[in-house]
Amino acid sequence: QKEVEQNSGPLSVPEGAIASLNCTYSDRVSQSFFWYRQYSGKSPELIMSIYSNGDKEDGRFTAQLNKASQYVSLLIRDSQPSDSATYLCAAVPGGQNFVFGPGTRLSVLP
Instruction: Output 25 or 34, the one with its CB closest to another protein.
Output: 34
Q: How far is the CB of 10 from another protein (least distance, A)?
A: 11
Distance of CA 86 to the CA centre of its chain: 9
Q: How far is the CB of 59 from another protein (least distance, A)?
A: 17
Q: Counting Cβ atoms within 10 Å, is residue 81 exposed (0-12), middle (13-18) or buried (19+)?
A: exposed
CA proximity to 70, closest of 41, 105, 37, 99: 99
Q: How far is the CB of 16 from another protein (least distance, A)?
A: 28
Could you list the residues that contact another protein (CB under 8 A)?
Answer: 31-32, 34, 41-46, 49, 51, 88, 90, 92, 94-95, 97-98, 100-103
